[in-house]
Amino acid sequence: MQEQKFQIVITDHGFPDVRIEQEIVTAAGFDFSAASCKTSEDVITATTDADGLLVQWAPITREVISKLKRCKIIVRYGVGVDNVDLEAAKQYGIAVCNVPDYCVNEVADHSMALAMSLVRQLGPVEKRLRSGTWKIVPVGPMPACREMLFVTAGYGRTAQAVLRRAKAFEFQVAACDPFTPDSVLQEHGVRRLSAEEMFAQADVLSLHCPLSAETRHLVNAQRLAQMKRTAILVNTARGELIDTQALADALNRGLIAYAGLDVFEKEPLPPEHPLFGCANAQLTSHVAWFSESSLPTLRRLAAEEAVRGLQGVTLRHRVA
């Protein structure tokens, strides 16, 4: 009797094709298919006999996981795994992996670009110039970078890359991360701050922590009120880290000076959202991850991780 091949299924994707994944999976001797799932029911139909899943946005709920007859591994295209029920996967013995390292430099570059654009007030100065006003001083107070404290919430790969860039601009640097040992921060020349100190002392606060029940709305009305009125807030991590209604209010009231956001609680950002009315907010459309090489890298790493999971090889980035 012929041995049944492993089957890897892409539940959904927004790529122009799936050639990268198909080549990697078939080279390993596995079967491969791709679907366009939007609902839990779609996923159940497409994956009942799958041994491994590659998932972009499709909901991998407890119901879905309970119907997976043979699945051993689920790999999420990207960093966040918000659409996968991790507890259910753990209960059913299914490994869940992400790809946290495919766009570290891109996100760090974008974070720093937003920060520097706001530090140097490029948007307000350009707007003033286009309106016909020529002045050789900025719109508001502009300290030198070397006089400012650049803080990251979190100290993972991306936060470390951001602070390396901040050091190049001669910012003073610090991080708030209860999971990073003092020895690591000391070795990197980064000062540790508590959450209270982070909000009170940061001149630039860049968010680089995962979304969880504890970090949802980490930045809220209370925390915004604790920040310097000259502070700059940057978020390229997860939209729900910030209560964006409270942020819009804080920006309009001058409780902080500027915000640069690439991610939002709801995407696309609704056209009626008050952030669009904030002249001191710089908004980009979740593009921080992108470069011409980041997308193929993401796809290759995800497919290779799924293959490893079925071959019994040590996984690179298991989250559950």
**For residues 177 and 287, what is the distance between their CA atoms, to the nearest angstrom?**
25
**For residues 202 and 100, what is the distance between their CA atoms, to the nearest angstrom?**
26
Q: For 270, which DSSP code?
A: P
Exposure class string for 130-145: b at 16+ Cβ within 10 A, else e: eeeeeeeeeeeeeeeb
**For residues 109 and 118, what is the distance between their CA atoms, to the nearest angstrom?**
14
Q: Is 267 known to be catalytic? A: yes
Catalytic residue among 128, 191, 216, 286: 286
**For residues 319 and 279, what is the distance between their CA atoms, to the nearest angstrom?**
39
**For residues 219 and 34, what is the distance between their CA atoms, to the nearest angstrom?**
39
Catalytic residue among 126, 147, 196, 267: 267
Contact predicate 73/97, CB 8 Å: yes
**For residues 193 and 170, what is the distance between their CA atoms, to the nearest angstrom?**
19
Catalytic residue among 238, 240, 304, 308: 238
Amino acid identity for residue 258 in this structure: Y
Place of tokens 């000076």: 257
How far are the Cα atoms of 57, 105, 262, 263 from residue 293, in angstroms, in the given order?
21, 11, 20, 21
Q: Is 238 known to be catalytic? A: yes
Tokens representing 200?
A: 């009170």
Q: Is 286 known to be catalytic? A: yes
Active site residues: 238, 267, 286
